[in-house]
Amino acid sequence: MTFTRRAPDEPKAPDPERISRDAARLQLELARAASLLRERTSETSLELTSDIDALITSLSAFRTALDAQPREHEQEGALSREAQVALFEVGKAITSSLDLETVLNQVMDSVIELTKAERGYLVLVDAHGNHDVQVARNLDQDTIRSMEFAYSSSVIDEVLKSERSVLTSNAQTDERFALQRSVAMFRLTSIMAAPLRIRGQVIGVLYVDNRAFTGQFSQNKLALLEAFAGQAAIAIHNAKLFGQTDVALKQRVAELESLYRELAVARERAERGLLAVEREMQIGRVLQSEFLPRELPSLPGWQIAARFLPARQLSGDFYDVFRLSSGEVAVAIADVCDKGVGAALFMSLVRGLLRAFALRASDRQGALAAIGQTNDYLAENHGRTAMFTTLFFGILDTETGELSYVNCGHDAPIVLGATGVERRLESTGTALGAMRDVDFETGRLVLLPGDSLVAFTDGVSDALDAAENPFTEERFVSIVRGEAPSVTALLGDVVAALRDHIGAAPQYDDITLLALRRNPPRRDFPTGQYRVIETLAPGPGKRGRRS
């Protein structure tokens, strides 16, 4: 068996780039030390300064010689590979963050690392054409403070003016910049600057320099800086756009939050106001119910019933049954041409006028004359409101069954005879309040035993279901024609059919029903007084009010 002796590992050759970089750092530190010693006037300080300057010169010569020697494996394309690495780093900066400050620092640190510069400055131009340093970094990737903050403003101005890069190996002897105040004051030597360009527009400048050495930068490094600046401009532009969008978004969110708070306060106020209005409306409904008959009169030999279903808290419908001074009974049902508060107020006025004029009369003709008196008052004093009222008003002699009536444009009540004969009490005049001095004709009929009269408002026939199909008068009449044992049961059948038709849909209009029936003499019928005030779809635990 043959064994091969393994040679010991050979020490790796020193990296010329690292040696050059370390020499540059040492040269820089020595230059700073020499600058501090010059500020002192002692003889020892001057001697030390001379020695340090000599050492700096030696280091510079060493670096120059080191750079001149050929390096192992270095080919003509080495710079292009370095450029590719640098551009890759910039690409990472573009995608790694959209925070402008972070991007600016990443760009500047990459530039200094790439060019081996002592310091770097990133200048941006605002919308008004003014420029300012946004980032100032040093070789140690620290932000340059005020004492070290020094750059050639003339170089920056030249790049912005010409929109071209600038390279000078020694600004102290370069005729373009030697006489510039900033160059002389800050003892600037090697300077390189390239424009930041996006979509053909220069948005800033990348600037690097080295105060200690001349000839620090070459054309190859300038080309690399220009390529770097193209990628950096994209990163900066995107970060600025994002920042503007982010600021605008935050401002919009703040505005929306403020608006939400205002809306919350307004909603709270509105809810408090709505509760107050609802309380007032509830009080108004209670008061309006008091305008209706508290009890229907007991009429021997007659049945009488009523149902009142307002669409809202307050209604423009009303009905009334009351005895006159002559002993006869007045019956009325009316519909004001609107709904809600206004209609309720107008209804109260019409009912009060009609009752006052009718109760003041001494006979039937005087009571019927209350229609004209009420009409003239409304037309003269409230005609400008353009509100009118349809009304059926009748005077009934309960002994004879004779009924004298005036129909002021109201839905024609239905009269069903005991023998099946049907009659409609059509209009005999115009609606109340439309105009003055109207002649209202009077109709007359006799209700025989077993005959029924059913009066209603248009909220019955116009009731809508969820698909907005009306209940229709035909369907209502078909229920009235049924053989209900009493008018109370008859109106109950009508209301049940209306509830079934409307279902979950909101009630469109007020619904009022009033029915009379003369009992046949051969049977014992209750004298009948039945009054209901309710909503069409009462909530749980709520029932209609009966008396």
For the chain, percent of residues with pLDDT exceeding 70? 73
326, part of any domain? yes
> How far is 424 from 410, CA to CA, in rounded Å?
11
Which DSSP category does 429 fall into? Answer: B
Q: Domain range spanning residue 240? A: 97-249
Same domain, 313 and 242: no
Tally of structural domains, the chain: 2
Residues 358 and 215 in one domain: no
Per-residue CA distances from 211 to 29, 172, 298 (Å): 11, 10, 119
Residues 138-157 have a mean pLDDT of 77
Does the residue 39 lie in any domain?
no
Rounded CA separation 122/93 (Å): 15
Helix (H) or strand (E) holding 335: strand 329-336
39 against 160, higher pLDDT: 160
User: Does residue 298 share a domain with residue 199?
Assistant: no
Q: What is the pLDDT of residues 217-263, one digit of tens each?
A: 888 888 888 888 887 787 777 777 777 776 777 788 888 888 888 88
Task: Looking at the structure, tell me whether residues 463 and 347 fall in a common domain.
Answer: yes
Q: Any idea which of 50-59, 333-342, 344-353, 451-460 has the lowest mean pLDDT?
A: 50-59
456 and 344, same domain (yes or no): yes
Residue 68 lies in a domain: no
Residue 136 sits in a domain whose CATH number is 3.30.450.40
Q: Alpha-carbon distance 296 to 534, whole Å? A: 16
236 and 306: one domain?
no
Residue-level pLDDT at 293: 82
396 vs 87 pLDDT, higher one: 396
| Domain shared by 305 and 378, yes or no | yes
The pLDDT value given to residue 38: 60
Question: Which of 195, 223, 249 is the endpoint of a domain?
Answer: 249
> Are residues 303 and 375 located together in one domain of the fold?
yes
Q: Are 343 and 291 in contact (CB under 8 A)?
A: no
Q: Are 243 and 298 in the same domain? A: no
Within a domain: 525: no
How far apart CA 133 and CA 331 sit, in angstroms, is 95
One-letter-per-residue 3-state SS of 473-521: HHHHHHHHCCCCCCHHHHHHHHHHHHHHHHCCCCCCCCEEEEEEEECCC
pLDDT score recorded for residue 41? 55
451 versus 281: the higher-pLDDT residue is 451
- Same domain? For 420 and 498 the reply is yes
Say if 106 falls within a structural domain. yes
What local confidence, expressed as pLDDT, does residue 270 receive? 86
Question: Helix H segments across 116-196?
Answer: 153-162, 181-186
- Report pTM: 0.53
366: in domain: yes
Residues 78-106: tens digit of each pLDDT? 445 656 665 676 566 555 666 777 778 77
**DSSP alpha helices (H): ranges in 209-340?**
219-291
Residue 476 lies in a domain: yes
Residues 351 and 464 in one domain: yes
Rounded to the nearest 5 degrees, what angle is found at the Cα of 354, between the Cα atoms of 350 and 360? Answer: 150
Q: Is residue 101 part of a domain?
A: yes
- pLDDT for residue 142: 77
Residue 428 DSSP SS3: coil
Per the CB < 8 A criterion, the answer to whether 298 and 325 are in contact is: no
Query: Domain boundary residue among 249, 271, 301?
Result: 249
Burial class (CB in 10 A: 0-12, 13-18, 19+), 279: exposed
| Amino acid identity, position 422 | E
Q: What is the CATH number of the domain that holds 369?
A: 3.60.40.10
In this structure, the answer to whether residues 238 and 332 fall within a common structural domain is no
